[in-house]
Amino acid sequence: MIHLTERAARHVYDFLQNRGKGEGIKVGVKTSGCSGLAYVLEFVDQVDPHDTAFEAFGVKVFVDPKSLVYLNGLEMDYVKNGLNEGFEFNNPNQKGECGCGESFTV
């Protein structure tokens, strides 16, 4: 299960509305950084039938089968801290992260 907070869902919804198209967002992982894995976000214009779909506050989130193993239980929030803003990932599968916070291990 992937969960978006209401604030994160509103942010994604607004972006989709500004784009004028899109079925939702896709969350995945890729090999990257010094700890091994990094989160990847992209818009979904055409749904892949192999992806698992979740919905939160009217926004669809898609996850490919390989990434779901690492992301099951993930909660995504959208936070603003001073001049910085972006998605924050709370992943119960994460065991550690690199010093800069760009990659994580499971």
CB-facing half-sphere around the CA of 50: CA atoms within 13 A: 5
Residue 103 included in any domain:
no
Provide the pLDDT for residue 16.
Answer: 94
- Using pLDDT thresholds of 50, 70 and 90, give the confidence band for residue 99: very low
pLDDT tens, position by position, 47-68: 999 999 999 999 999 999 999 9
Residue 25 has phi, psi (to 5 degrees) of -125, 155
> Which three-class secondary structure state does DSSP give residue 100?
coil
The structural domain count of the chain equals 1
Residue 105 included in any domain:
no
Residue 20 included in any domain:
yes
Domain span at residue 42 reads: 3-94
Q: What is the CATH number of the domain that holds 56?
A: 2.60.300.12
DSSP annotation string for 29-47: EEEETTTEEEEEEEEESS-
> Which three-class secondary structure state does DSSP give residue 16?
helix
pTM of the prediction? 0.83
Residue 106 included in any domain:
no
